[in-house]
Amino acid sequence: MNKGSDKTLVDVRHLKQYFNINTGWFRSKPLKAVDDVSFSIKKGETLGLVGESGCGKTTVGRSILHLYKPTGGDVFFDGRPVKSKADIAELRKKATMVFQDPYSSLNPRMTVSDIIGEPLDIHKAYSNRAERQERILELMDQVGLNSEHASRYAHEFSGGQRQRIGIARALSLNPEFIVCDEPVSALDVSIQAQVINMFVELQEKMDLTYLFIAHDILVVRHISDRIAVMYLGKMVELADAAEIYNHPLHPYTQSLMSAVPQPDPIVAKANKRIVLTGDIPSPLNAPSGCPFRTRCKYACERCAESMPEFNEAAPGHFVACHRIGEI
């Protein structure tokens, strides 16, 4: 973990990402995958982003990099807005992504050398072939791959090795910011720790900034400086990793944290699991007001009438809940 600096590298303001879904008879309805999400990441920091499947975590990461064109809101990188094609092209030299599935994110028809060298080719980041090859071998060494692997194809490698190839590709242009989209969820547990530790070492060595998206809260806590929690396209809580782990304020975050396995059997026995009741709403037909109210035991009429504002409940601890002072 790196505590980062005071300089804000990525600033996301009121980000919205809607997808029009065909509902039949030439009608469509917007699916609000990301709805009015705001946060910032300081240079050298790791912000963990957690939430259940379908809450919009991956869409946030892709929208920041403009792999999806945002429906609304603004993204600032290093103090500059990212809007025009020239802005996006410049952003992609400094920001990149490590994808979740190491099996589908690598081209099976390309050698390891060509996969890692593709960003160098696109941005013409070398003066001759020898310089290109030298850079590729340097990147392979950084992520723990042997130089003789360069001429092989992706299908010849294990899942962990494939993810290392993806990480080497992401590092090829010396980026400042990397969106890590559940980079260890498809790997064996024994390999996960190696890859996580490599992310930490690379961050310290290259002064990298991460948006680390994951399901596993223990993994996120290990690598993150701060943690943000999403639910149904909305950000419901944001705080320092230790603070959100030990003192969650939002009812949804409290439920998530109660499900984290405890290695100490005495602590595990004393831990009270908070089981959510009610129906899981569809993003296409999200409930009015607070999206979590249909599963929240503290929900009241006010929760159905309006979405709570994302306010600072304690220094550095932000939460979106109408009843935060009562529960």
C-alpha span between 227 and 70 (Å, rounded): 23
Locate tokens 């309805």: which residue? 29
At 266, the pLDDT band (50, 70, 90 cuts) reads confident
Q: Mean per-residue pLDDT for 294-322?
A: 93
Q: Mean per-residue pLDDT for 15-41?
A: 92
CA distances from 163 to 94, 101, 143, 205, 320 (A): 20, 8, 10, 19, 35
Q: Which two tokens stand for residue 128?
A: 């001759």
CATH annotation of 8-319 = 3.40.50.300
Selection from 76, 168, 166, 172 nearest residue 119 by Cα: 172
| pLDDT for res 2 | 53
- What is the model's pTM? 0.92
| pLDDT for res 327 | 75
- Three-class secondary structure of residue 52 per DSSP: coil
Q: Mean per-residue pLDDT for 260-272?
A: 71
Q: Mean per-residue pLDDT for 152-176?
A: 94
| pLDDT for res 99 | 93
Q: Which residues of 238-277 are buried (b: 16+ CB within 10 A; e: fewer)?
A: bbbbebbbeebbbbbbebbbeeeeeeeeeeeeeeeeeebe
C-alpha span between 36 and 48 (Å, rounded): 18
Q: What is the pLDDT of residues 228-261, one digit of tens each?
A: 999 999 999 999 999 999 999 999 999 998 877 7
Q: Mean per-residue pLDDT for 273-296?
A: 85
Q: Which two tokens stand for residue 324?
A: 């935060």
Q: Please state which of the ranges 126-140, 209-223, 277-291 shows the lowest mean pLDDT.
A: 277-291
Residues 180 and 126: beta-carbon distance below 8 Å: no
Residues 15 and 60: beta-carbon distance below 8 Å: yes
At 3, the pLDDT band (50, 70, 90 cuts) reads low
pLDDT at 271 > cutoff 80: no
- Calculate the CA 324 to chain-centre distance: 26
Q: Mean per-residue pLDDT for 108-132?
A: 94
C-alpha span between 116 and 172 (Å, rounded): 7
| pLDDT for res 70 | 96
C-alpha span between 240 and 47 (Å, rounded): 9
CA distances from 47 to 41, 61, 102, 142 (A): 7, 12, 22, 23
pLDDT at 268 > cutoff 70: no
What's the distance, Cα to Cα, between the start and end of the chain in Å? Answer: 32
What percentage of residues in the chain have a pLDDT greater than 70? 96
C-alpha span between 212 and 248 (Å, rounded): 19
Neighbours of 53 (CB within 10 A): 7
Q: Sketch the domain layout of the chain as residue ranges.
A: 8-319
